[in-house]
Structure 1
Amino acid sequence: MVEEEHRLEGSRIGEGLSEGDARRLRDLEVALDQTWDLLRQRRARRAAGMDPDGAEARAPGTVENYRQ
């Protein structure tokens, strides 16, 4: 996923993206954000002595609206 994201990012900067590629890039960004969020949840649960398998993927709208 990361390699594809980087390829599309490079195309966006150079030649621009088709509508389909722009949509795919956005989908990849959301999926990667969800993956990182799940990893952070698992690490936090493990650090707190909880079962990391109890972590659940959050909805895209939740993950995308986090303040950084």
Structure 2
Amino acid sequence: MVPPTTGPTHHLGKSEIEYYAMLAKTEVQHYSGTNIELGTACGKYFRVCTLSITDPGDSDIIRSLESA
């Protein structure tokens, strides 16, 4: 699952991510906040434009995306 992309991601890069996600039959989620908010939500002190969840572990990130 690849939840997403935030505003400043270049449109070509966004299309490329969506294309490869389609080939891999994975889900893409688009984050409505800013890349600064996404970085903060990930516990980072820098901007995050794209992230990939390979193992959700015991986090609630998947459930929070489903409820949104």
Higher-RCO chain (CA-CA 8 Å, sequence separation at least 6): 2
Is the pair's TM-score, using the shorter chain for normalization, greater than 0.5? Answer: no
Give TM-score scaled by structure 2 length: 0.30
